Amino acid sequence: MRIIVGITGASGVVYGLELVRALKKHASAYVYLIVTRWAWYIMRLEADRRLVDEVFSLVDEYYPEDELDAPISSGSSKFDAVVVCPCSIRMLSDIVHARADNLVARCCLVALKEGRKVILVVRETPLSENMLELLHRASRLGVHIVPACPGFYHRPVDIRDQVRFIVGKVLDILGIEHDLYRPWRMMSGHGSDQ
């Protein structure tokens, strides 16, 4: 499996970092990583440097957002899916409006025209009407929207549990088996492991 991960400048870059880890651990996926300029800014604010270094050591190919002539910029590149995680509203807007002047948006547009999966882990709150319209239009284009809204029914004990819940939802859409969260009714007090 060949997956493009785009990390954009929304809060929650740790979702993208954890996603790369999970793709390697659970699918031995070939991972292309693109990090936007604003994602680098947020990464310096939010992420532990050791985690960033570890994740970069796992990535197979890295591209900056302005490398529009990268191999993955073309439909002839046989990647399976693009996950933008986290996805800024700005990037969502580029994708909906088919603006391909950065590599993350370009790869999403290529995936859509080639009938491949696009998953956007959008993070913003609260959402205004025009943001909701963008999400609606993206959904109608066939984009999978996974809002960065962790559940609590799996009883997370720390932030990593909450991050892993969202990453698990992305892996579900990609059809990858994982143990990132326990499904409802396999929880203590609700079923088989009681």
Ligand X SMILES: Cc1cc2nc3c(=O)[nH]c(=O)nc-3n(C[C@H](O)[C@H](O)[C@H](O)COP(=O)(O)O)c2cc1C
DSSP secondary structure letters along 123-154: --SS--HHHHHHHHHHHHTTPEE--S---STT
Interface with ligand X, residue 123, by CB under 6 A: yes
Residue 54: other Cβ atoms inside 10 A: 13
Single-letter amino acid code for the residue at 136: H
The Cα 99–Cα 97 span in angstroms is: 6
**CB of residue 92 to ligand X, shortest distance in Å:** 8
Q: Is the peptide bond before 126 cis (omega within 30 degrees of 0)?
A: yes
**Of residues 10, 72, 134, 170, which one binds ligand X by CB under 6 A?**
10
Interface with ligand X, residue 121, by CB under 6 A: no
**CB of residue 89 to ligand X, shortest distance in Å:** 4
Shorter beta-carbon distance to ligand X: residue 36 or 182: 36
Options 32-40, 72-80, 132-140, 151-159: segment touching ligand X (CB under 6 A)? 32-40
In terms of phi and psi (left: phi > 0; alpha: psi -120 to 50; beta: otherwise), the region of 155 is left
Helix axes 37-46, 13-27, angle to 10 degrees: 90
In terms of DSSP H, where are the helices of the chain? 13-27, 37-46, 49-58, 89-96, 103-113, 129-140, 159-174
**CB of residue 180 to ligand X, shortest distance in Å:** 22
Options 33-41, 51-59, 106-114, 169-177: segment touching ligand X (CB under 6 A)? 33-41
Residue of 73, 182, 100, 96 whose CA lies nearest to 145 = 96
Interface with ligand X, residue 162, by CB under 6 A: no
**CB of residue 57 to ligand X, shortest distance in Å:** 23
Options 5-13, 21-29, 111-119, 166-174: segment touching ligand X (CB under 6 A)? 5-13
Binding pattern for the stretch 86-115 against ligand X, x by CB under 6 A and - elsewhere: --xxxx------------------------
Shorter beta-carbon distance to ligand X: residue 132 or 186: 132
User: First vs last Cα of the chain: how many Å apart?
Assistant: 36
Residues making contact with ligand X (CB under 6 A): 8-11, 36, 38-39, 42, 45, 88-91, 123-124
